[in-house]
Amino acid sequence: MNKFIFISGGVCSSLGKGVAASSIGALLEGRGLNVRMVKCDPYINVDAGTMSPYQHGEVYVTDDGAETDLDLGNYARFTSGHLSKANSVTTGQVYESVIRKEREGRYLGRCVQVIPHITDEIKSRITAVAREDPDTDVVIVEIGGTVGDIESIPFLESARQMIHEAGKSNAISVHLTLIPEVAGGELKTKPTQHSVKAMQEQGIQPDILICRAPVMLNETTRRKIALFTNMENDSVFTSYDISTTIYEIPLIFFEQKLDQVVLKKLGVESRHANLGAWKTMMENFNSRKGKVRIGIVGKYMSLHDAYKSVYEALFHAGLETGVEVELVKIDSARLEETDNADNVLGSQAADGGVDGVLVPGGFGQRGINGMIKAAQWARKNKVPYFGICLGMQIMVIDWGRNVLGWDDADSTEFNQNTKHPVVSLLEEQEEVINYGGTMRLGKWESVTEPGSRIFAAYREKNIWERHRHRYEFSNRYRGDMAESGLLLTAFIPDKTLVECVEWPDHPWGLGVQFHPEFKSKPTAASPLFRDFVAAARDRKQI
């Protein structure tokens, strides 16, 4: 029988519900359980693919090509259970399928309602994740939003029903709240009491409370909270503010024995806890020496979440290479305005310049010329450069314009009339077969060339990484590019698409058509991020 943990939040948003859910997942995996994570998002969009990165942060892509909410990225960094389209459930998807069934007459003329039809659809999507893998022990379901929101009600009602149907020893509720500090340093428990009342009004008595607080709550406060919220004394935990890293949270919960209480409540026999990888990660964190400054040149710089997985992967790379990675966010418009990239990136920049340049993925023309300047600057000054998806296409455009001397070299995404479409849609490239869909999405295999930097990073010939793009390196320019020195170092197995380019005579200049950031973990950094940060570190002679 599968066990379910429903994680809800109260008082306000941004308390770290996703990290709490993922940390519980990590702890249960440490106890040898097979964990699957599900995110229920109350918004009406069907998926995150069409949402603006300004509003919603990055689109996280799974192996099967689902364009999901960035929360799935958190799950992937903390836990190892398979993630696919099925792990993200939005109100939009739920209504879309209920309305489709209604149109098909599948409800036999009955009146279609939120309860039971919407809630049944939610429940069936959650249990489908459990059923997908027969070895699943626990499904952790994170319910987006805050208790009391109109939008979350159907999800909380579905959780209530599942807890009722599965029985208390098979399904539990974990509720995350805030304990604010008021003037004078006093910690206030009232908002938490109200939040639990709001849960009780939804028919759910939380089994475990996690209180987000500035400091570890003392025994007296925890007992008081337990008394007023109808909880067992051992079931109130603190997620206190930390100055280290969110990846320490599993260990902070472990110290408080949160996983033992979860196992006890779910009736799972306690087993040995193996958190070795997390402990090693924290040892690496504490023994980092020196700092490298990585300039990220993109167009969504004001919102941290827009390149969330890239930033996290850089942090992971720092853990493995023994340095702190400082993120220097550079709006590519700034480079467009200057006629000397040195003023923004080099040692005469006001902030002292960068030790490496990363151009991440992106869509649309805005800021492109600034990115090309950044690539050209890194190439000429032998500064480590890492291009991801659009960042690789930028390398190819720079090479076309500034090495081959084709001033109009471009991607047809930005200029359809160029005489030198060095990056273009597959359909525009006569010599390749058409793969169908408009976007290359999800997991694809690449074959790396021996002797290349990409091969040195993965130490493997055949690799699998995730894609999300429409445009490709134009095959008709392979000859010109290679003859002028650009190294083409990875391809899809039938060699019809280029997956990686590298600069010759350069310490580390590499671009990939895929997104390695999606598979990077704090306990195992992406090999390309690791080698890029190592190159920046070596350049700085740390």
Contact 426, 475 (CB under 8 A): no
Among 6, 278, 377, 471, binds ligand GLN (CB under 6 A): 471
466 makes contact with ligand GLN (CB under 6 A): no
DSSP 3-state of 260: helix
**How far apart are the C-alpha atoms of 475 and 498, rounded to whole Å?**
8
Task: Report in angstroms how near the CB of residue 470 gets to ligand GLN at its nearest.
Answer: 4
Nearer to ligand GLN, 176 or 426 (CB): 426
Centre a 10 Å sphere on the Cβ of residue 97 and count the other Cβ atoms it contains. Answer: 15
* Binders in 374-393 for ligand GLN, by CB under 6 A: 389-390
389 is catalytic: yes
At residue 261, what is the residue type? Answer: V
Is the previous residue joined to 384 through a cis bond, with omega within 30 degrees of 0? no
List CB contacts of 140: < 8 A, sequence separation 6 or more: 4, 5, 7, 21, 24, 25, 28, 35, 36, 37, 38
DSSP 3-state of 174: strand
**How far apart are the C-alpha atoms of 271 and 31, rounded to whole Å?**
6
> Which of 67, 312, 499, 517 is an active site residue?
517
Segment contacting ligand GLN by CB under 6 A, of 50-58, 251-259, 295-303, 356-364: 356-364
- CA pseudo-torsion sign 303, 43, 17, 177: positive
At residue 304, what is the residue type? Answer: H
Nearer to ligand GLN, 388 or 488 (CB): 388
**DSSP 8-state class, residue 516:** G
Strand 138-143 versus strand 35-41 pairing type: parallel
Q: With 0-12 CB in 10 A as exposed, 13-18 as middle and 19+ as buried, what is 505? A: exposed
Segment contacting ligand GLN by CB under 6 A, of 154-162, 168-176, 429-437, 463-471: 463-471
361 makes contact with ligand GLN (CB under 6 A): yes
Tokens 């600069």 belong to 503
Task: Report in angstroms how near the CB of residue 519 gets to ligand GLN at its nearest.
Answer: 15
Task: Report in angstroms how near the CB of residue 471 gets to ligand GLN at its nearest.
Answer: 3
413 makes contact with ligand GLN (CB under 6 A): yes
**How far apart are the C-alpha atoms of 403 and 218, rounded to whole Å?**
65
154 makes contact with ligand GLN (CB under 6 A): no
12 is catalytic: no
Residue 479 CB-half CA count within 13 A: 1
> Which of 389, 413, 472, 502 is an active site residue?
389
Nearer to ligand GLN, 469 or 537 (CB): 469
Nearer to ligand GLN, 10 or 391 (CB): 391
Among 470, 478, 539, 540, binds ligand GLN (CB under 6 A): 470
* Binders in 94-153 for ligand GLN, by CB under 6 A: none
Task: Report in angstroms how near the CB of residue 87 gets to ligand GLN at its nearest.
Answer: 21
Nearest residue to 23 via CA among 191, 296, 317, 255: 255
Nearer to ligand GLN, 517 or 531 (CB): 517
Task: Report in angstroms how near the CB of residue 165 gets to ligand GLN at its nearest.
Answer: 42
Nearer to ligand GLN, 233 or 438 (CB): 438
Among 17, 82, 222, 468, binds ligand GLN (CB under 6 A): 468
Task: Report in angstroms how near the CB of residue 380 gets to ligand GLN at its nearest.
Answer: 24
Nearer to ligand GLN, 253 or 473 (CB): 473
**How far apart are the C-alpha atoms of 137 and 276, rounded to whole Å?**
22
Nearest residue to 274 via CA among 78, 37, 29: 29
Tokens 């890194």 belong to 378
At residue 338, what is the residue type? Answer: T
Among 353, 362, 387, 516, binds ligand GLN (CB under 6 A): 362
Task: Report in angstroms how near the CB of residue 405 gets to ligand GLN at its nearest.
Answer: 24
Contact 162, 4 (CB under 8 A): yes
Among 107, 228, 240, 363, binds ligand GLN (CB under 6 A): 363
Nearer to ligand GLN, 363 or 435 (CB): 363
DSSP 3-state of 238: strand
The tokens describing 290, both together, are: 């020196």
515 is catalytic: yes
Segment contacting ligand GLN by CB under 6 A, of 9-17, 79-87, 455-463, 465-473: 465-473
> Which of 117, 175, 467, 515 is an active site residue?
515
Catalog residues that contact ligand GLN under the rule CB under 6 A. 361-363, 389-390, 413, 468-471
What residues are annotated to the active site?
389, 515, 517
